[in-house]
Structures are given as C-alpha cells and as structure tokens.
Amino acid sequence: MRRIGFAVVLAVMCLVPRGAEAQPHAAPWKIGVLWEVREANPRVVHLVDWLREDLKAQGFNDRDLHFDVRQVEGLSGLPDAAKELIRVQPHLIWTSTANVAIAVSTEIRNVPVVFGVSSDPVRFGLVKGWAKPGGNMTGVAINEVLLNGKRLEILKEFIPGLRRVMVMPDPEYDSTPMLRLSDLRGAAGRLGLTLVEHSVQTKTDIEQLPGIIRKERVDGILHIANKTVNQHLAETIKAVHLTRVPDINYYLPAVENRWSMSAYAASHREAFRMSARLVGRILRGAKPEDLPVESADVYELHIHLGIAKERGVQIPQTMLMRANKTFE
C-alpha cells in the first residue's frame, strides 16, 4: 500500500507543470485598493466591484477576498493613504492608474503593486522593462501617445475641413498629460492641424470654454485626461454641447452616456480585467518582477450618430463601417 501511495503522489507531481505558480498564502487574501477619484470617478468606474468579479472568475472565493479601499482626491494625499494601506499588511496593492503608482512608488517598496492602466510604465519609471519589470510593480499599459494621434486622424476624417483643434490640459496636475501634449503637438503638425491649448484648472476655465472656442475659431475638440474636467464633468459636457463643435474622447463610455460625439480607446474595463488576472497570479505565488507588463492593444471606435447630427457632422460611410458601436 505504501508503494501504491507513493506512486500516486509521484504521478500527481508529474502532472503539475514545471514553474507553476504556488499558492503560499492562506485565505483571506487582503488586497489594498488605491485610486485618485478625479482620475477614475467612482460614479462611473466601479473598480472594487470589477476586481471582485474578475477574481471570482479566476476561482477565488468571494468570502476569502478582503479589500481595504482608499479613495483620495488629489495626488498629494496618496502617500499617506499608501502608508495606511501598508499598516494593514496587504498581500498586494492595486492602483487605478500609473499616476497613482508613481505617487506612492517611494512609499510602497516591499509590497507587490499592480497598476490598472499606464500610458508608458517604462517611460515613467514604474518598471525597468515591459518583459521583465524587475521590481515590485507590474500592470497593464495603453499606448496613449499612439492613440491621441489616431484620435486626431479620426476627427479629421469626420471633418474634412478641420483646421483648429482644442485640447484642455492641466499643467499643474502632473507630468503625464504634459508629455502626452508634447507628442500631440507633433501629431497635429504632421496632419496640418493647429492645437488650441486651453488650460483647465478651475470651474471658471470650463465656463469660459464656449467664448474661447468661438474666439479661437475651434472646429474640433480632443479630450485628454484632466482632473478638473472629471471633477466638473456635468459643466464640461454642457459647455461642449453648447458650442456644437464635434469632439472625440479617450473614454469609450463617454459616447453611450451622451458626453461626447465619438471616442477611440482601449476598453478600460478590459484593461482592468487584464490587471485582475495579474493580481490573481501574484496571489497564487508569482512575483511581479517576473510578470510582463500586458498591453491593452485592442481599440474600439464608438460614434453617437444623434450628437453628430446635432453638430452638423455627416459621418462618412467608411467610418461607420469601422465603428465598433454606434448610438442614436
């Protein structure tokens, strides 16, 4: 009987793939969740619900998942929030964006970190390389530099006579939008377009939009990430709608929710689903330094035909055929 028992054990061991990830922690798994609410508005981005749902799909039991959540308004509060999370000794910390991960990188060095979305994690110093992150962080990347150029191209196809495109950066928020803006200027020059840069840092800046758009003869709007716009979303939507100027967004749900005429982007929901898979692998024993940064490289074009009609835009048939979703 002993020989039979040993043979069974040996057979089972042979069935386990070499290099398979161990599961060193007993449940419950403690997961710290940290996000800046003006970047990922909890009204429209249900991060914790998504994480729980995606981890359950990987076989984790809901009752064995414990989330410690810190929502912070403004990057300045993130380091203290990170210290609070470290005190509860989580197995892992998940951050909504690269900006959040950057803000807490000096506070969190011995805890695995997974970032939900980053435009270029190597460029911003989060990881040493895509294939081998080499530290305590890994996550999912979206090539926003490429996407902003593509958005300009799409906007130009919508509006053959497009000449002047407004963007609304926030120069005092952080460096990331500014780096994107530098790349965007280059893309605009290649397309023969002029960028009209209207800094938005206050509600007053948003209220001034209609007058500035008329004065600057803006005939297209490209939305980029801006904390003040997220904070005063309703006022921004109203101001843009008043101008009747065609726009394109970096956030797909903006079209379905009638915030924008169009959007071209990777699905943030899918990006967060990919990051949840990385979370699951780390909880089962993998090290973030060995988990390649994943690329959310499937992009979608959404168009709201009703808004296009309101703004006098006849969407070309070729663009309608390219669209993944259209809304009336």
Q: How far apart are CA 255 and CA 305, in angstroms?
A: 10
For the cut 80, the answer to whether the pLDDT of residue 215 exceeds it is: yes
Hey, which of 12-26, 167-181, 243-257 has the most confident mean pLDDT? 243-257
Q: State pLDDT tens for residues 27-81.
A: 789 999 998 776 666 555 678 899 999 999 999 998 999 999 998 877 788 889 9
Which structural domains are found in the chain, ordered by start? 17-142+268-297 (3.40.50.2300), 144-265+300-327 (3.40.50.2300)
Structure tokens at 300: 């979608």
Q: How far apart are CA 178 and CA 165, in angstroms?
A: 17
Name beta bridge partners: 248.
Answer: 222, 262
For the cut 70, the answer to whether the pLDDT of residue 193 exceeds it is: yes
For the cut 80, the answer to whether the pLDDT of residue 5 exceeds it is: no
The pLDDT-based confidence of 247 (bands split at 50, 70, 90) is very high
pLDDT score at 269: 86
For the cut 50, the answer to whether the pLDDT of residue 104 exceeds it is: yes
Mean pLDDT of the chain: 86
Query: In angstroms, how far is the first alpha carbon of the chain from the final one?
Result: 71
Please provide residue 159's backbone torsions phi and psi, each rounded to the nearest 5 degrees.
-125, 95
Which H or E run contains 237? helix 233-243
CB 327 within 8 A of CB 301: no
Higher pLDDT, 147 or 220: 220
Give the rounded percent of residues in the chain with a pLDDT score beyond 90: 60
Q: How far apart are CA 183 and CA 178, in angstroms?
A: 9
Closest CA to 275 of 50, 64, 18, 83: 50
pLDDT score at 179: 58
CB 278 within 8 A of CB 139: yes
The pLDDT-based confidence of 170 (bands split at 50, 70, 90) is confident
The pLDDT-based confidence of 22 (bands split at 50, 70, 90) is very low
For the cut 60, the answer to whether the pLDDT of residue 157 exceeds it is: yes
Q: What is the mean pLDDT of residues 87-92?
A: 93
Higher pLDDT, 144 or 84: 84
Provide the phi-psi class of 18: left if phi over 0, else alpha when psi is between -120 and 50, else beta.
beta
pLDDT score at 17: 41
pLDDT score at 294: 94
pLDDT score at 41: 61
The pLDDT-based confidence of 150 (bands split at 50, 70, 90) is very high
The pLDDT-based confidence of 256 (bands split at 50, 70, 90) is very high
pLDDT score at 218: 98
